[in-house]
Amino acid sequence: MLSRLFHRAPKQKMPCTPADIPGRPGLVRLEGAAKQALDLSRGRLVIGIGLFSLAFCLLAGRLVELTAFHGAGEPVVARVNPDLTARTVLMDRQPIVDRNGVILAANLKIASLYADPRKILNPAEAALRIAQVLPDLSAGELQTKLASGRSFIWLKRGLTPREQYEVNRLGIPGLYFHDEQRRVYPQGSLAVHVLGFTDIDGNGIAGIEKSFDEQLRDPARTGDPLQLSLDIRVQHIVRDELARAVETFQAIGAGAIVMDIYTGEVISLVSLPDFDPADPGAASADARFNRITLGVYEMGSTMKTLNTAMALDYGVAKMSSSYDARFPIHIGRFTIHDDHPKARWLSVPEIYMYSSNIGSAKMAVDVGPDRQREFMARLGMLTKPAIELPEVGAPLVPRNWKTTETMTIAFGHGLSVTPLQLCTATAAIINGGVLHPPTLIKRPPGMPAPGRQVVSRWVSDALRKLMVLVVEDGTGKKAEVNGYLVGGKTGTSEKVSARGGYNHKALFNTFVAGFPMNNPRYIVQVMLDEPKGNKSTYGYAAAGWTSAPTAGHIISRIAPLLGVEPVDENSPAIKQAMYVPLPGIDLPGKTQEKKLASQ
């Protein structure tokens, strides 16, 4: 028994010998297979840690590469697609601001959805799921696109953040987002006929966006906004009053312009109807039409301002001159008559105040066709106006400019111009006689505006007085604004009929006003297209009942914003400065007229 036990003892796996390690009592020496197993375990552990560390480093490196160098989640297809790269460059567009720095147009980052159909596993199912979160897309059209087998296809441009989130939640392989920029207009339709709009790829299509397309896309001008002359506060008021007038008088359209008469800067330009620049495709042709710069019209009696200035400037008439307005003028098959005849001789101020067609025609005949044409050319009425918009109309000038044309042009028929041209010319008449080209770009402070003398200063002074007379005692009474000494001229013309002749029921009404006329600074022009009379106007639809009060409402609201201080219109100094003698004669040669002959 003992021998068996003694014999089996060596077969037991002893971890160590009973001998202590020299110099270290109590520690035993590891021997044999146990030591080898422990070494092997340690090696495997080191290798495992190394592999895990390597994998972690690879994942971290890839994450850094994707986020720092390629943009989070941006697929390779979008990065190398030349079409996308070109669009990204085009969309890098500078902002547009008003004269006070208010943003009118700017770029906003958006996401667009596209697909690599080769990676779509089930086009029918994918199309159905996409259409559920983007209901404006057709599932059938989506399926056709996703089954095309192409490498790249747009699904929707310009997703909202919510739409992007919902599409991302679908988790469909082969769908990707591409970062783009969209042109946004924070003021909506408020200045659309000035700003214009861009296409989906950021190219200027209309308005300032088109005229300054290259400048707005110039990388060297990054962060440098294009500053316009518009004051968006004034723009809001003008549009508000115009919209109210359109509704009140049931007009088919309207327009207005406010201009600084000493710089030519356009402070406001509105044309109604208008549209949303973010969705120009939904706008009608009428809404996209700029009535102020593109439309050409016969301006009616507002042209008498230019006609009177012309007669005075050429010296064929004085303020004391008078003309026989007792009888209509018959010339060829035409008859010229006054709408509100006085049936007597009228002085020059009376002709202007009562808007006499007969008196105006006779003054123009004294000037003659050649000089009348030269004067109109001098005021820029015969050529296309220069302003920073592509939508500009050319005037319709008579081919044969003879006596008949001279007469009709005197009171606003026979020559069709844009409202912009009339406003610019009238500004020159009241600012001392200097014609400044109109501009939509803010002029640098302290820099003189370009301009040229077109009428003498004394003629300008005389016309200012006559325009005040129209508002105080003539056809423009409803434009009066207490404290701002408004002067203006009404114009009511019948629109040309498509069948020839004039449509007596389709009126085009205009009122041109300056303020304050003792020291004018701004001009306002309001036009209403086919307004209708109502109970408040006793059924009348002429400019004195429609356009004139609209201009008065505008002036009363914008004058304080523009820093125009009110004046005491009844002060002796202003009364004397604006005084115009009215002889009230029946025949020439009366004593009152002789007293005025030296003026």
Extract the tokens encoding 232.
Answer: 């968006």
Taking the alpha carbons at both ends of the chain, their separation in whole angstroms is: 160
Burial label for 443, CB within 10 Å (0-12, 13-18, 19+), is middle
On whether the CB atoms of residues 411 and 304 are closer than 8 A, the answer is: yes
> CA 130 to CA 134: how far, in whole Å?
6
Residues with catalytic roles: 301
Of 419, 417, 413, 324, the residue nearest 363 (C-alpha) = 324
Q: Which alpha helices (DSSP H) does 65-160 contain, by range?
A: 76-80, 82-90, 123-133, 139-146
> CA 95 to CA 226: how far, in whole Å?
6
Parallel/antiparallel/unpaired status of strands 16-21 and 24-30: antiparallel
Report the SS3 class of residue 327.
Answer: coil
Max Cα-Cα span within the chain: 171
> CA 295 to CA 137: how far, in whole Å?
39
Extract the tokens encoding 348.
Answer: 């020059």
Of 403, 405, 304, the residue nearest 346 (C-alpha) = 304
27, 467, 478, 564, 573 from 578: Cα distances, Å: 123, 10, 19, 19, 9
> How is 99-112 classified by DSSP, letter by letter?
TT--EEEEEEEEEE
Phi, psi for 160 (deg, rounded to 5): -80, 160
Cα atoms in the Cβ-side hemisphere of radius 13 Å centred on 161: 2
Phi, psi for 597 (deg, rounded to 5): -60, -30
127, 200, 203 from 158: Cα distances, Å: 18, 9, 16
> CA 192 to CA 206: how far, in whole Å?
9
